[in-house]
A and B are shown apart, each in its own frame.
Chain A
Amino acid sequence: MSVFKTLGIAAGAAAIAASMVPASASDLTFWSWRQEDKSQYEKYITMFEKDHPDTHIKFKAYEADNYATILSTALAGDQGPDLMMVRAYGAFESVAGPGYLMDLDSKIPALDTFPKAAIKAETLRSDGKVYAVPFASQTMLVMYNKAVFKKNGIEPPKTWDDLMADCKKLKQAGIYPFANGTATAWQNETIVFALGSSIMGKGFYDDLQAGKATFEDPRFVEALAKLDAVKKYFPNGFTGIDYPSSQQLFASGMAGMFAGGSFEIANFKQQNPKLDIGVFPAPPEKTGKDALVSVFYDGGYAANAKTEHPKEALEFLKFLASKKFGQAFANGLGNVSPVPGVQFKSPLLSRIADLNTTSIPYVMLVDFRYEKPSGSVVLQQQIQKMMAGKATPKEVGAKLTKDLATYYKPFQNQ
């Protein structure tokens, strides 16, 4: 018995001793869901560590689909990282809301120069404070295959009628005008805004924000009707075509256009390096009206409220909000950084950054993904239904308004 006792005491003592040894000046952990960006992030960390030799940051990436669960479980159990990537909007609030994140209000001066919409993405609505440094915007637009367009003698459309004419030509030439399918639910939300933003218009978004319009508004319903009309230029059996299949249709050159997010570009290039991609905003009804894209912010960098190294963590966040990092981020990861003054090397990226200046927010994610049922859940299902010919644009608008009215006050009186 005494042998075990001794062993037990020895083991306990060793454990206590181990926990008392400081790990080194400051070792910080940094969690992310971007497994594919690991090597780039390690370069950025080296950049930072050059100026801060006493701070060591360890990057660890988790599988994207389970990241939210892993992160919030770790934070709830006090096992969270010092630094982390968090999502934006509703998903950001589920981490920031319980008080897990360090409040960054007026601690990082550079944030004052960021676009307002970027800051909003990482601000907790209940206290109006910002908790993360926004890192990238994504843009909903139409990507097209330049070679295919040239071969068929067509130009990026300026109006909706141009778009329909282009589609007709492509179809006659035996090419799928659009690569999009609706079998994967979230793709139904992207196509609404990639194609319909200009038909909805800025006025609709402002009225929606002000509580003066619902989704039954004729401008929104008209955008859905246009989408409903363009579906005849989607591939045969598009209701059964899932996201990977439609990506392949576009990357392989079998289709001329892909309505979706700017985040697709890197993947298309990877699948087919020869692919020459152009972009254009959702075409408006007629010339003279704004051609809009729709924009959202992907996420931000945040620090743990309970980190043992708050000073170092804040230093790192300041670095992530700097132009130096923003530039390296844009060049290395091919994303549109919200840091003001960043120059984009790639012409495509710089074109997207330009388009972002005439945009509306990606509505459902930005404003209606905080409560259940989220606007996205309802919209995705209803558009899937509409595209299958089982619901009219008007019914979709009514259903959206009715379901969101269960918690969204401005819809309740209308």
Chain B
Amino acid sequence: MFGMRITRRGLWIACLIVPPVLVLALFTVYPIVTALGYAFFDWNGAAQGDFVFLQNFRDVLFREPFATWTRNAFLHNIVVFAVLMVVQNGIGFLIAYALWRNLPGARFHRVAVFLPVVLSTIIVGFVWKLFFNPLFGLVNQTLRAIGLDMLAQPWLGQSSTALGALILVNAWHWIGFPSLIYLAGMQRIPGEIMDAARMDRDSELSILRRIVWPLIAPSATIVFILTFIGSFNWFELPYIMAGVDGSPYGSTDVLGLYFYRTAFGNQSAGTQDFGHGSALAVITFLFIAVVAGFWTVHLRKREIEL
């Protein structure tokens, strides 16, 4: 290795790079690799049993009743992602646009919209759970007060409304985030471009579609990818509001809850099972990593094309 001399600069760079790489290796790479290892074994409590190779993966994907649970949880994640893309990101975009155009009250709303984001998920979950209480909850009491008694219902107790209610709470909690990212993107658009567009007397809608949307493509990339990862890692809110079983009868079950109760057991129903739990974690991780990876590449290409 000729010419490889330790220079002062090289040492400096190494000093900056090595610690974060170590931290990343220890707290991110190592756990992922261990989980992958765990997934190949049979477990007896916390004691590792026989090497079973792909048996755990086969079980969670194809053996009943695991297969049904896995499919059910995965479908719910897809629903969560789809609805959040439309509701959270769609309305977030409109809010950002309204704030950017400085509609009356924009200053106040810029703060108000972002306020829920700073609340912890625990607080949001508990408060909304109280709001949805069928007897004392704010939602039903409001409905009754305005004469809509027939609409008052046990929102979190019905298969038809529980997941929707959770998604709306999530959107309420996080809508400030896409708004903020979109707003930052819009504020970067040079004024000349907008002036030129207005001189051409384009309609507001066509400005939005042809000028604003393409120019904030980098913001959209960030928002879409984060929404995707967040939707498939969704755990805290359903855990707090629906419980680790995804009540009622699996209507709010998502991969995060399913993995957690499989691996660590459910104090009032089941036992620990690190093998199947790890298999689920690995499958979820691979799915998110692969899809997010490909999608990011695709969205980045789109940024340039537009």
A interface, CB within 8 angstroms of B = 64-65, 68-69, 72-73, 75-76, 90-91, 93-95, 97-99, 181-186, 189, 235-242, 245, 249, 369-374, 376-378, 380-382, 384-385, 388, 390, 403, 406
Interface check B190, CB cutoff 8 A: no
- Indicate if the CB atoms of B265 and A91 lie closer than 8 Å: yes
- Indicate if the CB atoms of A185 and B243 lie closer than 8 Å: yes
Other A-B pairs, 11, CB within 8 Å; known A91-B271, A385-B249: A68-B267, A75-B46, A91-B265, A183-B154, A237-B135, A237-B140, A369-B271, A377-B245, A384-B249, A385-B248, A403-B65
B165 to chain A, nearest CB (A): 10
Nearest first, the 5 A-B pairs at minimum CB distance are A240-B154, A237-B134, A240-B157, A239-B157, A94-B45
- Indicate if the CB atoms of A182 and B248 lie closer than 8 Å: yes
Smallest Cβ-Cβ distance to A383: which chain B residue: B249
Smallest Cβ-Cβ distance to A364: which chain B residue: B269
Residues of A within 8 A of B120 (CB): none
Residues of A within 8 A of B276 (CB): 372
Residues of B within 8 A of A384 (CB): 247-249
CA distance A181 to B157 in the complex (A): 9
- Indicate if the CB atoms of B154 and A239 lie closer than 8 Å: yes
16 contacts between A and B (CB under 8 A): A69-B264, A69-B272, A72-B272, A90-B271, A94-B265, A98-B46, A182-B157, A183-B157, A184-B247, A189-B268, A235-B135, A237-B140, A241-B154, A249-B135, A373-B270, A382-B249
Residues of A within 8 A of B28 (CB): none
CA distance A378 to B269 in the complex (A): 9
A376-B270 contact given A94-B46, A242-B129, CB 8 Å threshold: yes
Interface check B132, CB cutoff 8 A: yes
Residues of A within 8 A of B248 (CB): 182-183, 239, 384-385, 388
**Chief secondary structure at chain A's binding surface:** helix
> Mask for B239-256, Cβ within 8 A of A = 1, else 0?
000010101111000000
CA distance A380 to B66 in the complex (A): 16
Contact of A381 among B136, B153, B245 (CB under 8 A): B245
A-facing residues in B75-127 (Cβ within 8 Å): none
B158 to chain A, nearest CB (A): 6
- Indicate if the CB atoms of A240 and B45 lie closer than 8 Å: no
CA distance A373 to B133 in the complex (A): 30
Smallest Cβ-Cβ distance to B49: which chain A residue: A98
Residues of A within 8 A of B157 (CB): 181-183, 237-241, 388
Residues of B within 8 A of A370 (CB): 271
B67 to chain A, nearest CB (A): 11
> Mask for B261-292, Cβ within 8 A of A = 1, else 0?
01011111111110010000000000000000
A91 to chain B, nearest CB (A): 6
- Indicate if the CB atoms of A380 and B272 lie closer than 8 Å: no
A195 to chain B, nearest CB (A): 18
> Mask for B218-257, Cβ within 8 A of A = 1, else 0?
0000000000000000000000000101011110000000
A4 to chain B, nearest CB (A): 18
Residues of A within 8 A of B267 (CB): 64-65, 68, 91
Residues of A within 8 A of B134 (CB): 235-241
Smallest Cβ-Cβ distance to B271: which chain A residue: A90
- Indicate if the CB atoms of B272 and A376 lie closer than 8 Å: no
B278 to chain A, nearest CB (A): 14
A32 to chain B, nearest CB (A): 15
CA distance A245 to B156 in the complex (A): 13
Smallest Cβ-Cβ distance to B262: which chain A residue: A372
Residues of A within 8 A of B243 (CB): 183-185, 242
- Indicate if the CB atoms of B272 and A94 lie closer than 8 Å: yes
Interface check B50, CB cutoff 8 A: no
- Indicate if the CB atoms of B271 and A372 lie closer than 8 Å: yes
B292 to chain A, nearest CB (A): 29
A98-B45 contact given A382-B249, A384-B249, CB 8 Å threshold: yes
Interface check B204, CB cutoff 8 A: no
B98 to chain A, nearest CB (A): 35
Residues of B within 8 A of A371 (CB): 271
Interface check B192, CB cutoff 8 A: no
Interface check B47, CB cutoff 8 A: yes
Residues of B within 8 A of A249 (CB): 135
Residues of A within 8 A of B296 (CB): none
Interface centre among B64, B129, B134, B153 (most CB of A within 10 A): B134
- Indicate if the CB atoms of B245 and A380 lie closer than 8 Å: yes
Interface check B155, CB cutoff 8 A: yes
CA distance A22 to B245 in the complex (A): 47
Residues of A within 8 A of B154 (CB): 183, 237-241
A387 to chain B, nearest CB (A): 9
Interface check B44, CB cutoff 8 A: yes
Residues of A within 8 A of B140 (CB): 237
- Indicate if the CB atoms of B249 and A369 lie closer than 8 Å: no
CA distance A68 to B267 in the complex (A): 8
Smallest Cβ-Cβ distance to A235: which chain B residue: B135
- Indicate if the CB atoms of B135 and A245 lie closer than 8 Å: yes
